[in-house]
Amino acid sequence: MEEEYQNLEQYVDHPKWYGPSEEMMAQIRHALHMDDADDITKAIESLHPADVAVIIESLSIDDRSRFIELVHDKLDPEILPEMYADIRAEILRHLSDEEIIQALIQLDSDDAFSVINELEEDHQKIVLQNIPEEKRLRLEQSLTYPEYSAGRLMQREMVVMRSNWTIKKTIDMLRAPKKSRFSLPETFYEIFIVNKDYEPVGKIPLNSLFKYPEDTTLHEIMDKDVKSIPLTMAQEDVGFIFRQYSFVTAPVVDHKGRLAGMITIDDVLTVMEEEVTEDIMRLGGVGESDFHASTMDTTISRLRWLLVTFIDTLLASAVIYQFQGILEKKVALAILMPIVAAMGGNAGMQGVTVMVRALATHELRATRIWAIIGKELKVGLINGLVFASLLASITSFWFQDITLGLILAAAMVFNIVWAALAGTGLPILLHRFGFDPAISSGPLLTTTTDVLGFAVFLGLATFILG
């Protein structure tokens, strides 16, 4: 068994399995330095579009510009939807309108939309005017749907059949897709069955066509439990439905319940990654584009979050200033008070992280809110008592002052319990009022735990020690 693991480990970073190797990256950078377009073309021509996207994303801003300048006419359009949005927008600025138009024509509608969505509105109109009418109308309609909705995520190419058709007729139609209303997608896994009003009433996995006799009707073998997705559904809700029901594809319907398109699992995986990344980045006060952006752009984007912290520290300092008298009498208080704020902030962020994830994945039900809050309060109380006891003992021994230890212990219990309540409740309240809890919870929580922590600790010390 150990030998098998060792054999497996040798392939972990092997370029044969996934991604461009370091040797290839070095080769690309050397070719860029030498302005050797042919060498770059030979290096990437056999790679998957996703791997070429990784190569482009890994280059510096200047090298990316040079890369596109040298080989823009040799790139597969499939590379564009594989990139992060900010990199895709950057690359599109280096392409001519004609190159963008040809890319849109070749891509499936969902991928084509991800490309045109990165263009400015005026630029979109110019490009759309030169696209074949059928595809242009689809893209224009997609642009009318709400941002981050199912309508913008779906693709129009799909396989649609009638329930009274036989397996033989279905296979014949698949061989002649131009006879159907929709274009045959490049990749598909299920066939959607519609009624006379074009409403989805069933679906059939593609492999089922080979399990039954040719004269079997689709009605006999279709799955009638179809969960359709409205055009206006938020994309994070789409991700939840796919995860909940293990969908590979799902039909998208308009306000009348008519089939408008389909969403596939690859697009949902991309959305789920984007949503998770966005929440993690926002909890840390940074943006997804920080990794690829220039130094100045990253600096500017982070200034606002540092400004929030700056204001928070000013408020905390203002609270401390009110107790300067007791701090002058008891220097030990100045040594100990950061502990209270730090422990409260840490405990609160644990709650915030759990709640933001629960809200994002729809795990938090309205009927469980009070149960969750109650549980977090109990956890906060237990943790507060544990660390309060430990800290009281250390403080009493360190400064030979039991009273000081008890004051610190009381402040510790209060702040950790408050942090548990705020860390759980703030994301829920912000979500209810339409704010993004991933952005707002952290700064609000830090402000309250710092300010309240110092106020309670120094207030108790003033009242008891005078």
Please report the pLDDT score of residue 243 as a whole number.
87
Could you name the CATH architecture of 160-266? Roll (3.10)
Residue among 125, 166, 170, 460 at smallest CA distance from 323? 460
Please report the pLDDT score of residue 205 as a whole number.
94
Write the CA distances from 381 to 338, 340, 349, 413, integer angstroms: 20, 14, 16, 7
Backbone angles phi, psi at 260, to 5 degrees: -115, -25
d(CA 393, CA 401): 10
Contact indicator for 212, 221 with CB cutoff of 8 Å: yes
Quick one: fold of 294-465? Tetracycline Repressor; domain 2 (1.10.357)
Please report the pLDDT score of residue 5 as a whole number.
46
Strands of 259-264's sheet, edge to edge?
229-230, 249-253, 259-264
Backbone angles phi, psi at 123, to 5 degrees: -70, -35
The answer to whether domain 160-266 and domain 294-465 are alike in fold is no
Could you name the CATH architecture of 15-153? Alpha Horseshoe (1.25)
In the chain, where the domains are located: 15-153, 160-266, 294-465
Q: Show pLDDT as tens, one digit a residue, over the chain (466 residues).
A: 455 444 544 444 444 556 788 888 889 999 999 999 999 999 898 888 999 998 998 898 889 999 999 998 889 999 999 888 888 998 999 899 999 999 999 998 889 999 999 999 999 999 999 999 988 998 999 999 998 899 999 999 899 999 999 999 999 888 875 555 556 787 889 999 999 999 999 999 999 999 999 999 999 999 999 999 999 999 988 988 998 899 999 999 999 999 999 999 988 988 887 777 766 666 666 555 556 666 777 777 677 777 877 888 888 888 888 888 888 878 888 888 888 888 888 888 888 888 877 777 677 777 778 888 888 899 999 999 999 999 899 988 888 889 988 998 999 999 999 998 988 888 888 888 877 776 667 777 878 888 888 888 889 888 888 6
Q: Are strands 249-253 and 259-264 parallel, antiparallel or unpaired?
A: antiparallel
Please report the pLDDT score of residue 9 as a whole number.
46
Please report the pLDDT score of residue 178 as a whole number.
57
Residue among 85, 98, 92, 96 at smallest CA distance from 129? 98
